[in-house]
Amino acid sequence: MMVGQGGQPVVILPEGTQRYVGRDAQRLNILAARVIAETVRTTLGPKGMDKMLVDSLGDIVITNDGATILEQIDVQHPAAKMIIEIAKTQDKEAGDGTTSAVVIAGELLAKAEELLDQNIHPSIIIKGYTLAAEKAQEIIDKIAISVEPDNEETLTKIASTSVTGKNAESHKELLAKLAVNAVKQVAEKLDSKYVVDIDNIKLEKKEGGSVKDTQLIRGVVIDKERVHPRMPKKIEGAKIALINEALEVKKTETDAKINITSPDQLYAFLEQEEKMLQEMVEQVAATGANVLFCQKGIDDLAQHYLAKAGILAVRRVKKSDMEKLAKATGAKIVTNVKDLTSEDLGYAELVEERKVAGENMIFVEGCKNPKAVTILIRGGTEHVVDEVERALEDAIKVVKDVMEDGAILPGGGATELELSIKIDEFAKQVGGKEQLAIESFAEALKIIPKTLAENAGLDTIDVLVKAISEHKNKGKAIGVDVFGGEPADMIERGVIEPARVKRQAIKSASEVAIMILRIDDVIAAKLSKGEGKGGEMGGGMGGMPGMM
């Protein structure tokens, strides 16, 4: 960038810097955001299509989970990166509705562009969008339906709605039931409210078998095997010790040198080592433990003594698994074998080593009231197992939302239609130029029912007109039934979603749209060597560094 001053050019920005100002900057940012929204839009709803993503190493991911798609694609455009951020936030906060959030953000920007073309200033659009977003939150709070947080039927419908449209849909009843049972098992009640830490639900994947072999284990599955073949494979009425120190001869902390001058001394030295290991094992056995999980290593000789004592031992167990074992069995993790007492032991009806898909795994089952559980996911191929895992993750998160908040909304685009109608009425009360922006916000929300119909191969305009008219006449639960191709009552159909998902989707979509509209100057430094010109969708667009 150069500015002339008395005939002398002044260089302000370094060579190779790209700068877009005013309308150009807005146009390109909106375009980038819309490309991302269009990418995931076809995946929305029960009839959504899948994406196949191939990374630079040739690894394949096949999914229609918005969060996964946006996480996997390589994006360079700064505005596109901002859109991806909302998908991540949505996933963290609500667990579902990532595609909806991104699609709404893209449509808000598309509608804003139409207003910019009519020479309406961005700050007026921003003000209108801010008012509309606040109104949307108010409306959601009003129309949200309170439910009993531990009502199994409602929770199963919620989980089922979340799984619908994923690859695992044919087994949605099973997966919904598993998600509900798992969340209810780990939920803890604090002052009449539930708190769910979903880290206590472990998803263990193993290819082979069918999706219907997926099961919930009231305990923990560890992807390890016994350390010694002479140890028992199966222990009923297991008393479990958890130790996070190595069952090995202690090494000195400082560098030490031991001089041995005669065979007797060597023999005594080895005997002492043996004795130390034997004592360690005796201390474990003395507490009555018959199963031992060790976070660190177990010496070969210690393995021999443990096998002799009839103790099933597993070594190098992950820290997270040790914590889950403690929560499931009621055992305490002990740092020093000497401190281990019978009170520190946990209990399980059964600890068994089983072969799953050709690999040994340790099953800890039948824990009394486990606060940690495992879902063992099965499926024909790696991609199926991965997609079932993604479906279960979403289902678990939405069940958690409802258990914690106790509020639901109708799905199938019904909530968006209600918001659209109500915000449109609100626009007329506001008046002025802001009214146009609020009306655009209301119009943008129709993108959800419209996309649901589009992805199901229905006549979009016809379905939308019918849905809006029935929604006004028959009530706020009318949405688009993509299976029947007609408007229908979503609550009756059991298509329900947590209020938290909708609240967060509209919050993050409007915030990112407003943030992108505020930008009127983009100064992009020259790409450093080795950086490509955009990933998946290659090339620049309008001279910008690669869109994606």
Cβ burial 502-539 (10 Å sphere, 16+ → b, else e): bbbbbbbbbbbbbbbbebeebeeeeeeeeeeebeebee
What burial class does residue 229 get, using C-beta atoms within 10 Å of its C-beta: 0-12 exposed, 13-18 middle, 19+ buried? exposed
Q: How far apart are CA 98 and CA 121, in angstroms?
A: 30
Active site residue 459: no
Six-digit token pair at 2? 């150069």
Q: Does 394 participate in catalysis according to the annotation?
A: yes
Active site residue 98: yes
Give me the catalytic one of 98, 154, 374, 451: 98
Report the chain's C-alpha Rg in angstroms.
Answer: 30
Catalytic, out of 39, 99, 156, 415: 99
Token couple for 474: 């028959």
Indicate which residue of 91, 386, 394, 401 is catalytic.
394
d(CA 478, CA 493): 10
Active site residue 460: no
- Rounded-to-5 percentages of helix, strand, coil across the chain: 50, 20, 30
Instruction: Name the 3-class secondary structure at 95.
Output: coil
Residue with tokens 């609500």: 94
Main-chain dihedrals φ then ψ at residue 346, nearest 5 degrees: -100, 170
- CB–CB of 30/125 below 8 Å? no
Marked catalytic residue, from 39, 43, 63, 65: 65
DSSP calls for 1-59: -EEEETTEEEE-SPTT-EEEETHHHHHHHHHHHHHHHHHHHTT-STTPPPEEEE-TT--
Show Cβ contacts of residue 318 under 8 Å, excluding neighbours closer than 6 positions: 295
**Which tokens hold the place of 240?**
């479990």
Any idea which residues carry the catalytic annotation? 65, 98-99, 394
